[in-house]
Amino acid sequence: MSAAAAVSEAPLHASMATMLDVLAWEIELAGARCIYLDSMIGKMMKTVPEGQQDLLVEGMHTVDLLAQHLTSLSAFARRMSALTPDDVSASVDIALSDITLGALADRMSVAFGGTERGIYDGEDAGDLDLF
């Protein structure tokens, strides 16, 4: 079954303000993960010989820049959410079916008033497997 076929019969609609707010929240979650990654790289710094720490420092700067980038995008999306009239809405089904991370698609579907869709459950879930 294709992702599009897995979408429920009744189209899921959300206001643009809600869409932007949900997007901002997901960007903030990604930013928090960057902060965690930055912390882990910092801890690894202590275990790497001094002559090889330049790569980790460069990585920390890149992760910090990414976190700042995400924070700015989230602030923009939140401001736009506040400025967008609630009566402007759109169907979100097709856009949700483009998301390849199952947990993300499910979180966003629920945030828009839908249900966990399980669109990407199973072998093609696309979610990160931690080992």
11, 26, 24, 25: which is closest to 90 by C-alpha? 11
Query: What is the model's pLDDT at position 3?
Result: 47
- Domain presence at residue 119: no
Report whether 77 contacts 23 (CB < 8 A): yes
- Domain presence at residue 1: no
- Give the predicted TM-score (pTM) of the model: 0.78
- Domain presence at residue 35: yes
- Domain presence at residue 74: yes
Structural domain span for residue 32: 10-111
For the stretch 27-67, pLDDT in tens is 999 999 999 999 999 999 989 998 888 888 998 999 999 99
Asked whether the CA dihedral 81, 82, 86, 88 is positive or negative, the reply is negative
- Domain presence at residue 116: no
- Domain presence at residue 121: no
For the stretch 71-87, pLDDT in tens is 999 999 999 999 999 89
Number of structural domains in the chain: 1
